[in-house]
Amino acid sequence: MTRKSFLQRLLALPSAALLIGCARSQSDPVDVPDDIRVHPDIGAFGPLDKSLDAWRAIVSEDAFYILFEEGTEPRYSSPLLEEKRRGTYLCAACRLPLFTSVTKYDSGTGWPSFWAPIEGRLGTKRDTKLAIPRTEYHCTRCGGHQGHVFEDGPDPTGLRYCNNGLALSFVPEDESLPPLRT
């Protein structure tokens, strides 16, 4: 499949248009319950200009490798694979909420998987490191690499956000979201 046709298919999906960042949908097709928070400080976030050395001092060595060197964790290594509680998945670097438990599912791949992100929280780019090009996605606030998105996901989007567990932190719905890192 060509890049163009892939992007056209992504853009044809209302819920997927948000991840591209160049299209707007009038209604959010992902029904997030009110008790699952998606941001502690809505409207107050923008691109975060922080040096790699500063991030290196904050996150673990393994997380830094994933987030800022576009690494990939070993399959079946993330405790988040077994996380079944309702709640919010934050970027492990800047703490921007990226996913909710509403869209998490068991893909059987060995990496935490979601069929949609929270609207506007991810950016994408083409990744040609492997023989078959992939679409990389990252936190739109800090640029931290999260994973790759594929077209073999479940309804309603048909997308699979294959995420590194080390790039996320989970906050169950009965706990307060931590403040965004600045």
Residue count at the site for Zn ion (CB under 5 A)?
8
The catalytically annotated residue of 91, 139, 142, 162 is 162
Q: Which of residues 129-148 bind Zn ion (CB under 5 A)?
A: 139, 141-142, 144
Q: Which of 91, 118, 168, 180 binds Zn ion (CB under 5 A)?
A: 91
Q: Is 22 a catalytic residue?
A: no
- For every residue of 13-78, DSSP letters joined together read SHHHHHHHTS---SS-SS---TTS-S-SSTT--------HHHHHHHS-HHHHHHHHH---PPTT--
- For every residue of 102-147, DSSP letters joined together read GGEE--SSSS-EES-PPTT-EEEEEE-SSSS-EEEEEETTT--EEE
Determine if 168 is a binding residue for Zn ion (CB under 5 A).
no
Determine if 92 is a binding residue for Zn ion (CB under 5 A).
no
Q: Which of 63, 90, 94, 149 binds Zn ion (CB under 5 A)?
A: 94
Tokens of 160: 């699979």
Q: Pick the piece of the chain touching Zn ion (CB under 5 A) from 9-17, 95-103, 105-113, 124-132.
A: 95-103
The residues annotated with a catalytic role in the active site are 162
Residue numbers at the binding site for Zn ion (CB under 5 A): 91, 93-94, 96, 139, 141-142, 144
